[in-house]
Structure 1
Amino acid sequence: MAVLVALGSFLLTLVGGWTAQRVTDRRHLVLGLAGGLMLGVVGFDLLPEALDGAGEDVYGVPAALLLFVGGFLAAHLVERLLALRKAEHGAHDPDQVPQVGLGAAAAMVGHSLADGVAIGASFQVGSAMGFTVALAVVTHDFADGFNTYTLASAYGNHRRKALAMLVADALAPVVGAASTVFFTIPAQPLACYLGFFGGVLLYIAAAEILPEAHHRHPARSTLLCTLAGVAAMWLVIGTAAH
């Protein structure tokens, strides 16, 4: 059952990526919307889930928040290392670092794999919980597909690479759900992962996507797209919770 439900994630991820391809002439609006969606996912979905299940405080600070900051710093370190590598190789376009886009898209694939594992694990508890978790996952997979294609293509990668990352992101929830047939996933490690990934995603949104969106087009419409992305994720996650 979990694998069949995860097929909904597969389809909506592809729809999200297809939508991102159709609006390449409005790149700044796409990036603004993607940044808002990512902020919404972190603030309304990933971080609350991590705080609920990551366990005890560590020296007065919730473990989920320590992992959240660790994820942010890890993403910053990776981005700096890639930037240094680009400088050493004399990249021609200073605004494009293909490895950053592929790395960010790969992180989205990892998140989608964890989404699939979450679906499978929830069905191990019961059908009612399984369908509730699946609804929350499936409804934000449109944003995942949109972001994965945008992240891969926005930094100079060829369209074929972006499509390959999109397909990998679409398949990841199905693979994750299928994997839980063979084992039971503990809740605490999954919550810890969500905290860490939330920090990674926040860095990508705040330090990469949103500055790029406003760099050449500091328009009011770009800001409105960002606000719309945040509001859309609030609506989607709030609806799924009820």
Structure 2
Amino acid sequence: MAVLIALGAFVMTLIGGLVAQHIGDRRHLVLGLAAGLMLGVVGFDLLPEALDLQSDDVFGVPAALLMFVGGFLTLHIVERSVAIHRAHEGEYAAHTHAHGPAPTDPGEPVKGIGLTAASALVGHSVMDGFAIGAAFQAGSTVGLVVAIAVVAHDFADGFNTYTITRMYGNGQKRALVLLGCDAVAPVIGAAITLAFTIPAGALGLYLGFFAGFLLYLATSDILPEAHSPHPSRSTLLCTVAGCAVMWLVIGLAD
């Protein structure tokens, strides 16, 4: 089942990349909705399930919540360290650095940056598929809601894989190859989980970690990207609608 669901992520990633070639002025609405779905999964399902599966405390704090904070901080540290975060600061004001070499001429894109960022997204998509497989080991309800969040997020991943590769001067063929790799990655990640069963306690820790991971993506990447070109009421409404949809899905599944 997990691999079949991951095929949905495969299709959605491809759709995201193809839409990146033709989308008009509605991208912010799609990203706003995806962020809402992810926030709903974190608050309504992943954290409660993680606390149920892993009830141990570490120095007065539930271990699952420590992993939740750890997941958030891990992705933040990684993105800051390797500079793959698609920074939005340049959209608000120009800035300069007092030290270091002069900034690269924007008219001369560095192809390697786009390839590095896109490759990082492919690696992240493998973890998306692993998350689907692990969630189905926790139960069909958890698997379903995690799958919805991952599939929604993979639209944005596909969109960004194609966009960032092209943005840094790479050709369309190379961008499409990376898009294909990004699409296949969740299926590979889900297939990995078929080889073993994760113990309940470890699964609770993993779900907590993944919840922090999703929260970071939603709040630090997707929402700023949705609102920076369009700080509109419609984007906010789509985010609220995404949370409401996940509340409905979880309620019906239970």
Secondary structure of 1:66's match? helix
136 and 72 in structure 1: CA distance in 2 versus 1, 3 angstrom threshold: closer
Structure 2 equivalent of residue 179 of structure 1:
195
Superposition TM-score, scaled by structure 2 size: 0.72
**One-letter amino acid of the structure 2 residue matched with residue 107 of structure 1:** H
Cα contact 1:105–1:151 (8 A) shared by 2: no
C-alpha separation between the residues in 1 aligned to 2:56 and 2:214? 23
Aligned length: 223
List alignment gaps of at least 5 residues for structure 2.
87-96, 107-112, 167-174
**One-letter amino acid of the structure 2 residue matched with residue 145 of structure 1:** D
C-alpha separation between the residues in 2 aligned to 1:92 and 1:77? 27
C-alpha separation between the residues in 2 aligned to 1:200 and 1:171? 19
1:231 aligned residue (244, 249, 252) = 244
C-alpha separation between the residues in 2 aligned to 1:84 and 1:110? 17
**One-letter amino acid of the structure 2 residue matched with residue 49 of structure 1:** E
> % of aligned pairs identical?
45
C-alpha separation between the residues in 2 aligned to 1:101 and 1:229? 26
Structure 2 equivalent of residue 83 of structure 1:
83
C-alpha separation between the residues in 1 aligned to 2:119 and 2:49? 26
Deviation of the 1:155 alpha carbon: 4.0
Deviation of the 1:117 alpha carbon: 3.9
Superposition TM-score, scaled by structure 1 size: 0.76
Structure number with greater Rg is 2
RMSD, aligned α-carbons: 3.2
Identify, as 1 or 2, the structure richer in helix.
1
Deviation of the 1:236 alpha carbon: 2.4
135 and 201 in structure 1: CA distance in 2 versus 1, 3 angstrom threshold: closer
Matches within 5 A, 1:35-46: 35-46=35-46
**One-letter amino acid of the structure 1 residue matched with residue 2 of structure 2:** A
C-alpha separation between the residues in 1 aligned to 2:64 and 2:132? 18
Per-residue CA deviations over 1:6-43 (Å, capped at 9, x if unaligned) read 34313322343344343732222222122112212222
Cα contact 2:126–2:185 (8 A) shared by 1: yes
C-alpha separation between the residues in 2 aligned to 1:187 and 1:54? 7
Deviation of the 1:206 alpha carbon: 0.7
C-alpha separation between the residues in 2 aligned to 1:116 and 1:138? 9
C-alpha separation between the residues in 1 aligned to 2:141 and 2:84? 44
List alignment gaps of at least 5 residues for structure 1.
123-128
